[in-house]
Amino acid sequence: MKKYYSWLLGMICLSLLTLPAQTFAREQTTSISLSTPLFEDEIVTPANKKQPILKTNEFLSNNQHASTDDNNPMIEAESYILMDYKTGMVLAEKNKDQPRPPASMTKIMTAYIILDKIQSGEIKWDEEAVISKRAADIDEAQIFLEENEKTTIKELFTGLMVQSANDAAVALAEHVAGSEEKFVALMNEKAKELGLTHTHFLNSSGLNQADYPDPPNTQGDHVMSAQDTADLAKELITTHPEIFKFTTIPQYTFHKGTTREQTVKNWNRMLPGLEHQYEGVDGIKTGSTQLAGYCFTGTAKQNNTRYMSVVMGTTSKDKRFTETAKLYDYGFQFTTVTFLKAGQAIPKLKSITIANAKEKRVSVVVQKSIDLPIQKGDKKNYSYHVQIKKNLKAPLKKGAVIGTVEILYKGKKIEGFQRVPIVTKNAVKEANFFDRISQKIAG
């Protein structure tokens, strides 16, 4: 009898050793769609059911506090966008992907390249650029640079962001890249890197090529979309928050103590103390040409909510600010709610089964916080949608990405919302021989 039990145990062990790792993950699925109303009971939808995308105008009309024309923003602009900074969620838009002349909002990219070069150590704030005749000859908005004079990078950059100086833009471009054409190549490379698919630059200033005394030798159309501009501005303030030191300067004097002394107000008249001041506005860039109309890329923060805004093709200097104020008035009706904190488990999905893992259930959490602007009383219309990676297998490091989660509104994807990674809470160790036996016996 003892020989029989020994033989039986040996056969069980042999079968365990020859079983593929996936056998120990009977609960593992290749794809999961889990829709959990944020403040209700769990609802599970089929794994192969695709979620419809909720367009911005649908969000506005479906939202119970934005269902009337009086509550929706009525913006007089050829294109515009209002975007939540944290999530990328689009709250309002018109023709947001339409390429249009951006005028001096071009200088957002010029500033980005300059700050990249400062960050990398290739240039320094206190180093001096020698002004070329070509830069000195540029007119429109300017700080009246003269040929062969030496000006610090910081002074030129201040001119770029406060006075929207075209001569400063060209001087910076030439100093950094050797020529404006080479600098424009850097701008277009960065646009491609950032995924700005409706953007192409011909110069560093945003002037119409016809208005250059000596235009750069570049080809194509000089365009940006409202979406691309908002995305670029968001990337700029995220990567280079020092930009706010310049965008918040309300007034500045150039060439102080000389016959060329020039005191100017920031073209962004929504800053504190200026005629269109709006609470929380701290950037970023205006623009205007005959082709572009009057444009403005702004950002405003109140409490823990920040918005990015773009209006393009308004009809006057003042209109670009009044229309932006309408967008902010609409946006700040919303309250930013933290659905999940970084390191927190999703309700009803605190753990999953992973093939070949020592532990039967592996704890999973969100990698970063999920914050979303919602209107009062509308929480019940939001839900989670989870997707888990295929063929997960131990061992895995702590923080390994195993899936993603997004927030749905009335069962539909919210345009602009970026999925948030779901990660392992702890390291996932590989099961050894005895772990497998225990798991098999436990069922």
Take residue 171 and report the two structure tokens written for it.
């001087």
Residues 6+ apart with CB under 8 A from 121: none
Considering the domain architecture, whether residues 316 and 219 belong to the same structural domain is answered as: yes
Inform me whether the pLDDT recorded for 19 exceeds 50.
no
Q: In which band, very low, low, confident or very high, does the pLDDT at 406 lie, cut at 50, 70 and 90?
A: very high
Considering the domain architecture, whether residues 220 and 314 belong to the same structural domain is answered as: yes
- Give CA–CA dist 298/310, Å, rounded: 6
Residue 360: what pLDDT?
Answer: 85
Pick out the residues of the known binding site: 285
Q: Out of 305, 332, 359, pick the residue that ends a domain.
A: 332
Inform me whether the pLDDT recorded for 419 exceeds 80.
yes
Inform me whether the pLDDT recorded for 40 exceeds 90.
no
Considering the domain architecture, whether residues 189 and 286 belong to the same structural domain is answered as: yes
Considering the domain architecture, whether residues 344 and 301 belong to the same structural domain is answered as: no
- Give CA–CA dist 111/117, Å, rounded: 10
Give whole-number Cα distances, 131 to 22, 170, 189, 308, 425, in Å.
68, 9, 25, 34, 56
Considering the domain architecture, whether residues 397 and 424 belong to the same structural domain is answered as: yes
Measuring CA to CA, which residue among 412, 372, 327 is closest to residue 58? 412
Inform me whether the pLDDT recorded for 98 exceeds 90.
yes
Residue 377: what pLDDT?
Answer: 81
- For 134-162, how does the pLDDT look when each residue is reduced to its tens digit (9 = 90+)? 999 998 999 999 999 999 999 999 999 99
- For 211-262, how does the pLDDT look when each residue is reduced to its tens digit (9 = 90+)? 999 999 999 999 999 999 999 999 999 999 999 999 999 999 999 999 999 9
Considering the domain architecture, whether residues 222 and 354 belong to the same structural domain is answered as: no
Measuring CA to CA, which residue among 125, 160, 124, 166 is closest to residue 142? 166
- Give CA–CA dist 223/100, Å, rounded: 5
176 within a domain of the structure (yes/no) = yes
Take residue 244 and report the two structure tokens written for it.
């706010």
Q: Model-level pTM?
A: 0.82
71 within a domain of the structure (yes/no) = no
Inform me whether the pLDDT recorded for 325 exceeds 90.
yes
Considering the domain architecture, whether residues 105 and 213 belong to the same structural domain is answered as: yes
Q: Out of 280, 300, 332, pick the residue that ends a domain.
A: 332
How many CB atoms are located within 10 Å of the residue 181 CB?
A: 16
Average pLDDT over residues 107-122: 99
Lowest-confidence region among 56-60, 110-114, 115-119, 433-437:
56-60
18 within a domain of the structure (yes/no) = no
Considering the domain architecture, whether residues 200 and 306 belong to the same structural domain is answered as: yes
Pick out the residues of the known binding site for substrate: 285
Average pLDDT over residues 92-120: 98
Considering the domain architecture, whether residues 172 and 195 belong to the same structural domain is answered as: yes
11 within a domain of the structure (yes/no) = no
Give whole-number Cα distances, 347 to 39, 298, 428, in Å.
10, 36, 21
Q: Choose, from 33, 79, 104, 309, the residue flagged as catalytic.
A: 104
Residue 70: what pLDDT?
Answer: 46
Q: Out of 332, 361, 389, pick the residue that ends a domain.
A: 332
- Give CA–CA dist 112/105, Å, rounded: 12
Question: Which helix (H) or strand (E) is 294 found in, with range?
Answer: strand 293-302
- Give CA–CA dist 191/204, Å, rounded: 13
Inform me whether the pLDDT recorded for 128 exceeds 90.
yes
Average pLDDT over residues 88-94: 95
Please give the residue that has the higher pLDDT: either 398 or 4: 398
218 within a domain of the structure (yes/no) = yes
Token look-up 């829709």 returns 35
Considering the domain architecture, whether residues 223 and 277 belong to the same structural domain is answered as: yes
Asked if 15 is an active-site residue, the reply is: no
Write the CATH number for 292.
3.40.710.10
User: Domain count of the chain?
Assistant: 2
Q: Choose, from 107, 326, 358, 413, the residue flagged as catalytic.
A: 107
Considering the domain architecture, whether residues 313 and 424 belong to the same structural domain is answered as: no
| DSSP class of 161 | I
Asked if 363 is an active-site residue, the reply is: no
61 within a domain of the structure (yes/no) = no
Residue 368: what pLDDT?
Answer: 95
437 within a domain of the structure (yes/no) = no
Average pLDDT over residues 7-24: 47
Q: What is the number of H-type helices and E-type strands within the chain?
A: 11, 20
Considering the domain architecture, whether residues 318 and 385 belong to the same structural domain is answered as: no
User: In the predicted model, what is the mean pLDDT of the chain?
Assistant: 87
436 within a domain of the structure (yes/no) = no
What range defines the domain where residue 41 resides?
26-56+338-431
Asked if 309 is an active-site residue, the reply is: no
Inform me whether the pLDDT recorded for 439 exceeds 90.
no
- Asked whether the CA dihedral 328, 331, 334, 339 is positive or negative, the reply is negative
Inform me whether the pLDDT recorded for 48 exceeds 50.
no
- Give CA–CA dist 402/259, Å, rounded: 65
Inform me whether the pLDDT recorded for 41 exceeds 70.
no
Q: Choose, from 132, 164, 309, 383, the residue flagged as catalytic.
A: 164
Write the CATH number for 380.
2.60.410.10
